[in-house]
Amino acid sequence: MNAARKIKKILRSKQTSEGAGVHLRRAFGFSEIGQFDPFLLLDDFRSGNPNHYSKGFPWHPHRGIETITYYEHPAKPGHTVFAYVIAGQGYFCKAKKPFTYEAEGENYCDMETDPLASNGTLILFEDGRSVHIETGDASIRFLLISGKPLNEPIAWHGPIVMNNQAELQLAFDEYRAGTFLKNKSKA
């Protein structure tokens, strides 16, 4: 196995609105199911404008998923590994050549092929033992996230993620019947 991970795909985060009108950028989710296993969604909530996030998210249920803020652990071969740039710019492969990997723009007509990854760029890596990052004179801040793939089927609707449609239907039936939340028994 090659020691350095090669870029598998680059995606530009897309502007969207969720909850009660929270402005955010979606790095991945929904249409990329399976590519980021065990991860389902990455949203970027950064904003200096309180009007972009102050309305927040109304109460809503979650089942079958764990929401987190950041991952901090070493990447291992066989794990899904991706980086999300939050400031600055840099190269995430030695080749510095666009078109040696798949790229997805912010919209259909986005034909940018700059090999520099900048704010709001997500880099999905192929398997390997290390990740190459080069900045030159510039600086960069990014999240490097990895996880062991679950290799399980995904049935997803709204905030509920299960393994099949029957489990998904049961979760929604329980939500409507008021039995969704389970009390933990005390020993």
What are the φ and ψ backbone dihedral angles of 165, each rounded to 5 degrees? -65, -35
* Enclosing H/E stretch for 77: none
What is the pTM assigned to this prediction? 0.63
Q: Which residue has the higher pLDDT, 170 or 137?
A: 170
Residues 6+ apart with CB under 8 A from 153: 163, 164
Q: Residue 48 is which amino acid?
A: G
Q: Residue 3 is which amino acid?
A: A
What are the φ and ψ backbone dihedral angles of 83, each rounded to 5 degrees? -120, 145
Q: How far, in Å, are 62, 90, 134 from residue 137 at the CA level?
A: 44, 10, 9
Amino acid 69: pLDDT: 46
pLDDT (mean) for 155-168: 92
Spatial contact of 42 and 27, defined as CB atoms under 8 Å apart: yes
Residues 6+ apart with CB under 8 A from 117: 10, 83, 85, 89, 90, 91, 92, 123, 142
pLDDT (mean) for 22-28: 88
Spatial contact of 174 and 101, defined as CB atoms under 8 Å apart: no
Highest mean pLDDT among 37-46, 120-129, 139-148, 169-178: 169-178
pLDDT band at residue 175 using 50, 70 and 90 as cut-offs: very high
Lowest-confidence region among 90-94, 100-104, 170-174: 100-104
What are the φ and ψ backbone dihedral angles of 38, each rounded to 5 degrees? -95, 10
pLDDT (mean) for 1-25: 84
Amino acid 63: pLDDT: 80
15: left (phi over 0), alpha (psi -120 to 50) or beta: beta
